[in-house]
Amino acid sequence: MSDHHTYKKVELVGSSKTSIEDAISNALAEAAKSLKLMEWFEVVDTRGHIANGAVAHYQVTIKVGFRVANS
C-alpha cells in the first residue's frame, strides 16, 4: 500500500431555491453519481439570481476533492 495519496479537485456550481447549504448538497448529490471517493469541499463563491425582488436561486461554487483511485 502506498504511503501517500493523490487527490483531484473539480469545480461545481450547485443551486437551490432554499438555502446555501442545500445548494452545496445538490452539487454533491450530482457529483456522487460519478465520483466515488469524495472527501472534502471548499466554498469558492456564493451568488444567486433575483426574481421579483427576492432570491430565486442560490448558486454556490464549490471545489470538491476526491482521492484518485488506487493512488
Contacts made by residues 31-36, CB under 8 angstroms, sequence distance 24+? 31/64, 35/10, 35/64, 35/66, 36/66, 36/69
CB of 3 to its own copies, least distance (A): 6
1 in contact with its own copies (CB under 8 A)? no
Give residues 7-26 in contact with its own copies (rule: CB under 8 A).
7-17, 19-21, 23-26
CA 33 to chain centre: 13
Can you give the binding site for its own copies, defined by CB under 8 A? 3-17, 19-21, 23-32, 38-43, 45-50, 53-55, 57-58, 61, 63-65, 68, 71
